[in-house]
Amino acid sequence: MSVFTLHHGLPAPLREQAVALYWQAFGPKLGRVMGPEAKALRYLSRVMRLENCIGAVDGQGQLLGLAGFKTEQGSFAGGTMTDLSDIYGQTGSLWRGMLLRGLSDETDAEMFLLDGLCVADGARGQGVGTALLTAICDEARNRGYTAVRLDVIEGNDRARALYERAGFVLDRTARIGALRHVFGFAAAHVMVRRL
């Protein structure tokens, strides 16, 4: 079992670890749109709002996992068209922006939105993900939300099992249509935990 401390908001020195961990988790899904990898990492480093996440950090200062969240005030890993343009150029930002909006750019006034859960390979199965989900639910409750909502892509059975153990239940399955050819998955399961 890993020993770690939860941080509400990550210290700035952990930004690059957060970027690398996020890309490790979501790069396979986002790579065709956000690549090449060097640009994707620069973009994520630019847009990550470290105050919009909870991180699990071990005694040596290594980031073991993080849980980003999105509220009406902003998201953990979302940026603007200006951010995209500054990294990918005007043309590159236009098509990337359209495709990324196809995944989701919504917020929810009633439900707290999980904006990515990542656990380092070496820390999996050691309670990090469960602790982060518990902390996200506590954060949501403290902010006055009545539920937490997340998306898990179809076929990610390990993550779905973790969410179910944490009390999340399937609300609906959202198909992404032709975007499946770009992102490599056909649907996302929307899961909700009432608080």
Contact between 59 and 3 under an 8 Å Cβ cutoff? The reply is yes
Residue-range definition of the domain harbouring residue 40: 4-194
Nearest one of 85, 124, 77, 86 to 105, comparing CA atoms:
77
Where is pLDDT greater, at 151 or 2? Answer: 151
Prediction pTM value = 0.92
Query: What residues have CB less than 8 Å from 37, skipping those under 6 apart?
Result: 23, 27, 31
- Measured between alpha carbons, how far is residue 136 from residues 132, 144, 147, 172, 180 in Å? 6, 12, 10, 21, 29
187-194 and 53-58 strand pairing: unpaired
Kindly indicate the confidence band of residue 74, based on its pLDDT and cuts at 50, 70 and 90.
Answer: confident
For the segment 97-110, what is each residue's pLDDT rounded down to a tens digit? 988 887 665 667 78
Task: Give me the number of domains the chain comprises.
Answer: 1
Report the CATH number that the domain containing residue 122 is assigned in CATH: 3.40.630.30
Whether 177 shows a pLDDT value over 80: the answer reads: yes
